[in-house]
Amino acid sequence: MTRDQKGLLAAVDRLTRAPADDRRYVVRRLSVPQRRALLEFWPAWLHGGQAPPAGDWAVWLMMTGRGFGKTRAGAEWVSALARADGGLRIALVGATIEDALRVMVTGVSGVMRVARTGETVTLVKSERLVRFPSGAEARLFSGADPEKLRGPEHHVAWCDEIAKWRHPQATWDNLQLGLRLAPAAGSGLGGMPRTLVTTTPGAVPLLVRLEQTAAVTRGRSRDNPHVSPAWVARMEAEYRGTRKGREELDGELIGEAEGALWSRALIEACRGAAFAGPEGAEGGRHFRRIAIGVDPPASAQGDACGIVACAVAMDGVCHVIGDHSVRGLSPEGWAGKVADAATAWGADLVVVEANQGGDMAMSVLKARDAALPVRKVFARYGKGDRAEPVAMLFETGQAGVAGSFPELEDELCAMTRGGGYAGAGRSPDRADAMVWAMSALMLGGKGEARVSLV
């Protein structure tokens, strides 16, 4: 910060502490250029939670309530970096391209609106490109299309509202793998790529993990001195004490969906040691019966194919013993993975949901291995309703997980009573597959699934 900027900051600090009448008196006597300089001097207006944390952090997670000033902080951070380094390459990642444009670029607190007088920030909408006067460039990406981030390289990234991303983990992974450009000296980045995440909390596993490793800024809506006190009072009167209020106003991260059938605590209580691994017929020495649950994808470009192995131990308790789920494969590809899992575990049964493309699923599985002991099941109720009897098995100690299955566990904690699935992505493919396998082994399909031998 220059000497003049330090002087301006001190003057603003004195002004904000003065009585309202004195402030109005001083502002009325400022020239137009002086008023403009005052309004555009971000250090004078930011509150403590909007300042970047000190130290050599790789990820800054600003997870706060609404109205805290996250978007303004992100836009000012990106703009300052672009101003300092004309060679900077920036990734702007929103929930959708439309959100990135509407909020991060052209919005009331976006990078185009926070530009200083004389700075022309240009948007090339057809190329999803933002050009800064220094020569720095930012490209727009979407949490709904992680593959677009496979390949491009960047120095820094600003990610907005991860809780709304359709494919949070895949998008994050591709982004981080592309953050491999070393920033120039004097860029303010300390020579290392960095990522800013601005989001309200949500039951998204990625946020749970980032909270453990990132430099975290937390804050409530009321912490922003520039937000309307009347709005804060009205929102708190309506939502105080509710889950929505805790997340959207207080910025709390709650680890599972409201009304979740599985909690993190329940899963931990039901966790046992991992089985050594697929051993074919050897599995018979450890388990009474083994089933592979399969939730086929509607298309190769859509959801994952859920493939989960469950087994009933000698004491009668059913365990998840393997998650072999895959994404992006052709029917022949995922059918091969199902057959491989069934052979490796020595499965007694392969249970396939037949509601979507059931005949096709059966055909490709039989074509892959005619000896597979395949049964198809038909869902007659919603995901949450058919999962509830299986959740009760966990609650009564009749079921658990043998080892750790993070992606499956994340989906289980987003399965709700009556409300279906409240997690990331369109469908809980792994959870569905587990429910089918455990239902076949422990419930015989009673009360939910109609099972037919093929």
Same structural domain for residues 307 and 236? no
- Would you say residue 1 lies in a domain? no
- Would you say residue 254 lies in a domain? no
How far is the C-alpha of 183 from the C-alpha of 5, rounded, in Å?
25
Same structural domain for residues 238 and 124? yes
The CATH number linked to 301 is 3.30.420.240
Residue 18 pLDDT more than 60? yes
Same structural domain for residues 187 and 68? yes
Residue ranges of E strands in 253-391: 271-272, 287-295, 306-313, 318-323, 349-353, 374-379
Same structural domain for residues 241 and 341? no
Same structural domain for residues 238 and 374? no
Pair 287, 441: CB distance under 8 Å: no
Same structural domain for residues 183 and 330? no
* pTM confidence score: 0.60
For residue 257, give both structure tokens: 């969906």
Tell which phi-psi region holds residue 77, choosing left (phi > 0), alpha (psi between -120 and 50) or beta.
alpha
- Would you say residue 259 lies in a domain? no
Distance of CA 194 to the CA centre of its chain: 18
- Would you say residue 64 lies in a domain? yes
State the pairing for strand pair 287-295/306-313: antiparallel
Task: Please write the tens of the pLDDT for every residue from 225-249.
Answer: 888 899 999 998 888 767 678 888 8
The average confidence (pLDDT) of the chain is 85
Same structural domain for residues 413 and 343? yes
User: Which domain does 214 fall in, by range?
Assistant: 46-248
Task: Please write the tens of the pLDDT for every residue from 349-370.
Answer: 999 987 665 567 777 778 877 7
**Phi/psi at 257 (nearest 5 deg)?**
-65, 155
Same structural domain for residues 120 and 215? yes
HSE-CB at 70 with a 13 A cutoff on CA atoms is 30
Residue 22 pLDDT more than 60? yes
Nearest alpha-carbon partner for 206 in 258, 168, 160? 168
**Phi/psi at 227 (nearest 5 deg)?**
-85, 150
* Domain end (from 248, 273, 290): 248
Q: Which amino acid, one-letter code, is at 417?
A: R
Task: Please write the tens of the pLDDT for every residue from 394-410.
Answer: 999 999 999 989 889 88
Same structural domain for residues 328 and 205? no
DSSP state of 113: T
* Domain end (from 223, 248, 273): 248
Same structural domain for residues 308 and 449? yes
Q: Rg (Cα) of the chain, in Å, rounded?
A: 27
Task: Please write the tens of the pLDDT for every residue from 265-313.
Answer: 899 899 998 876 665 444 445 799 999 999 988 765 667 899 999 999 9
Question: Could you give the maximum distance between any two Cα atoms of the chain, in Å?
Answer: 88
Confidence at residue 264, expressed as pLDDT on a 0 to 100 scale: 83
Same structural domain for residues 219 and 182? yes
Residue 447 pLDDT more than 50? no
The CATH number linked to 144 is 3.40.50.300
For residue 334, give both structure tokens: 């995922």
Work out how many domains the chain is built from and give that number.
Answer: 2
How far is the C-alpha of 61 from the C-alpha of 72, rounded, in Å?
15
* Domain end (from 214, 248, 282): 248
- Would you say residue 218 lies in a domain? yes
